[in-house]
Amino acid sequence: MSNETPGLARLSMSLPADLFRQLDMMVEERGLPSRSQLIAELIRHSLAEHEAYTRPDEMLAGTITLVYRGDRGRVRHQLAQTQAEYLKEVISSQHVFLEDDQSLEVLLVQGPAVLLKELCDALRRVRGVHQLQLVTTTSLLPPLYEQDAGDVA
């Protein structure tokens, strides 16, 4: 008879001692009940990121987080132009000013993985962008409007 919980599989792994200590510190700092919960979260994040690069037609939702230098509006203008080119994929954005003429912007995005990757690449090419991270999930936002064939456009 197995001691396994239904729906769960056991994983045994070896880690360098320093990495193991860092993992335990992270579990403690986040107040998680176990290493398993943290490792599952890290794996889910990695799998979602992997989807974006291995299944170009997969529909994904997520965020793009950018940190960039303000540079008297030039960078913001170029970022806005790039976002306008991906109007269907960029659902919303939030911008805040940081210290030292830097800005933080978070975009809520949804679309085919290939287009989200293209959007990230285009944003990275804007001079002044210091950091960019795409975080995705295969869970999608619900449709905002249902259209029937008889609806007037």
27 CB-side CA count, 13 A: 14
Domain boundaries, the chain: 17-52, 57-137
Residue 152's pLDDT band, with cuts at 50, 70 and 90, is low
Confidence (pLDDT) at 82: 97
**pTM beyond 0.75, yes or no:** no
* CATH, range 57-137: 3.30.70.1150
For residues 63 and 111, what is the distance between their CA atoms, to the nearest angstrom? Answer: 11
* Least confident stretch, 2-6, 7-11, 15-19, 84-88: 2-6
Average pLDDT, rounded, for the chain: 87
Instruction: Look at residue 1 and tell me whether its pLDDT is greater than 50.
Output: no
Which tens digit of pLDDT belongs to each residue from 26-75? 999 999 999 999 998 888 877 776 766 677 788 889 999 999 997 667 89
* Eight-class DSSP state of 85: H
